[in-house]
Structure 1
Amino acid sequence: MSEPTVAIVTKARGTFFKPLYEAFAQAQPEGWRTMLLWPAEHGSEHPEELVTPRADNLDIVPLHSTSHDLKANDAALEGRATRYQTQLPAREMWARLAERDVRGILIHEFSPFTLQALLYARWHRIPVCVSTEVGRGNAPFFGRRTRWWHALWGRLVDGVVACCPAAHHPLSRKQLPTVSTYHAVDSRLYVPVDHAPSQVVTFAYLGQLIRRKGLDLLLQAAARMKENGENRFRIRLIGGGDAGWLHELAHALGLWEQVEFTGFLSGAAIREALASADVFVLPTRQDTYAAVVHEAACLGLPLLISKHAGAAEALVKPGRNGYIFEPEDTASFAAKMQSLMPARVREPMRKISREVGEAHSAHARGAALWEWMVDHALVTTRHGEVTLERHVTQEAGL
């Protein structure tokens, strides 16, 4: 019989998942393995070395699967029709699962590709969990088809791995154990830098330069600050895309000297542009989570986050490491910005932001995910080997 295995089935290949799955595999007791199944043909926008997990007890099994283009049923978020690619079920998935002593299955989202593993788990009476960012609180952000799928297939899972706070309350309305593994970064890579306080306070934004992100509201709030006599600030907009509309707005509001456009940045350049700022601000009108907030927290920045971002609930400790605000209320928005101008206010917030960032780091949540699965019997055991391993570890005081 093969070694006891937890199978993770996903078509998502992001930088967040690499440290998460590595830490998950490393947290398993000796003799256990993690098997990661994903579509061989489905690539990533990132280099392979940044999205491919590596661990001595982790096996990657690429499966051949055809792709299919679909119209995004939540395209209204951007006010234009968009299309996305989904992967169809892989013929060999059932056989690859059957080759192993699978004790638990984790699927990422309910897609045609992952549903085959869900059905395999139900047929063989294996515990199965879903990791998702869809829940009752953010259901309006998604189209009818997505909501229907989650309400239907969510009835068949035994646990939810929440990728954002709203996912703790599934659309199936089934009472399930949940655990947080919010979309995040590795805090070991995002480290605060020391920089001398400047008389000019930099408020940094990172993301797409689109209306949904509320950048027009940010500039309007900044203009209010300037009207109130405060001009010792800079707005740093980090991101690519069509910035013409923001150039025009900055000129119209008399902010041209205060607004800095970095253009598209990547890798270390993003971290440098963000870490050298004084405050991170996200004025979004709608975001299921917004992982960029975690990047800023890991870098030790005070956080000024819209109430419409899932990360606000997860990462902002109001008054301690920043504030949550209503972006449409630009007067209150400007007041919050004004309150963060003094260095003596920001300094203690930097430490707390870093602590929050470390607690939610992808590598930290990988180990927590394994412990949660054990605690809630979401992996089956024989001869009590998992329970014994946890007991011995606790007895040793580790």
Structure 2
Amino acid sequence: MTEATNDTTSPVRPLRDALTFLLIVSATFGLQLLTLVTGIIMARLLGVEGRGVIALVLAVSVFAAQLSFGGCLPPAITKLLAERGANARDGLGHVFRRRGWLLLLPCLVAGGLMLVLLDDGAAGQRFEIAVIAVVVTLQTLFFSIIGGAMQGEGRLVRMAWVALTPQGLFTIALAVVAALDWGWSATDVLLAYIATGVLSVLVAMASLLPAERGDDVGAERRVPEASLWSEARGNYVSGVRPLDGLGLERILVGGLLGTTALGLFATGLAVSNLCRLVSNAVSVVVLPRVAAHQGDPAQQRAVVRRWFTISLVLVGGIVAVLELLVEPVIRLAFGEEFVGAVSVARWLIVADGLLALRRVLIAALQGQGRGGVASWVELALLPVLVVGIALSALRESLDGVGMSLAAVGLLSCLALGRAVFRAPSARHRGRATSCTQQRRW
């Protein structure tokens, strides 16, 4: 049973929610700090062009992973394991022994995309970088799926801290390279990323609960393969989160404006994504707390108002501070070569704040059993985002890309907020209550 699904009548539940929230926030802020450090070191080692190549490989890998199994399988795994009170090795081992090879398909797609998107500056290493993208995508998929399994086993805080492992090891590797003044290329950095990623996957697998032995491991603890795929299909759009879960904006910038522009854009992203870390932690608490009040829309909305207010205050403060500090941070940390990223970073900070609030609202809708509403909002705004970035690329305006993201974030918050606080129909409330009774465990 997860931390999020304990008895909601317990007097220690608010304290447990708060502690879980603080621990997850601490882990995610640590992850962001490590990401910022690696971004600075890579910028110093590689310059704008090399930094852009790294950003494109990572963006394509995330895109391929999230659009295939990385977005829909983890929440399905979490739900099905938690329902059965099973660990991942007993519940899903038989499925992945038979179907694990399917993970290679999106990895090959990622390699093909790299061959198409790399510009002339990286033409000499096109095939080599494409192969690296295949491996990085596979690592991304493994880590996402193991994370979903740990959440299903009820290990939310450990999941957050294990997520620090790959970035932590990568930061140490780059710091050693910088200290020794080795002249690494973008390919060398990517190979180091793969090496630290392999170690991190091993650490994550070791963090899963051990398989149970003996006759007490019955068939009811095993997740049927058909149930896994059915649940994954139902979670597809809300799990993928196409507006910001695919790295689509980075791929479009890299493909339409080139890796040099992407290097500046990636620098802006590196100093602008603190808000999403807060929203991720809030979402971990919001979804189960809202779901605990199925059949009581008024209480659900009270929970949402409380946590959304907390999110709004935190996000507003972070945005204000970052807007004041962004120029000196980029100038001092990344160097004069990256000062051109300041203006787009200001827009990206605003966009990140709005998209972070949107994640909290999506979690609330999922807790209400209305995740399909969030999916339709995502799908409706996706063309708006793509057109906005494409028009900005035609004008060669990175600032326009940031403005497009901010506009989509605002529209999403308005649409989702209206849906969250609108009373669901009586028919939906009855269906939600019935589902809650059936899934009580």
TM-score of the superposed pair, with normalisation by structure 2: 0.25
Structure number with greater CO (CA < 8 Å, separation at least 6) is 2
Name the structure where helix makes up a greater proportion of residues: 2
Name the structure where strand makes up a greater proportion of residues: 1
TM-score of the superposed pair, with normalisation by structure 1: 0.27
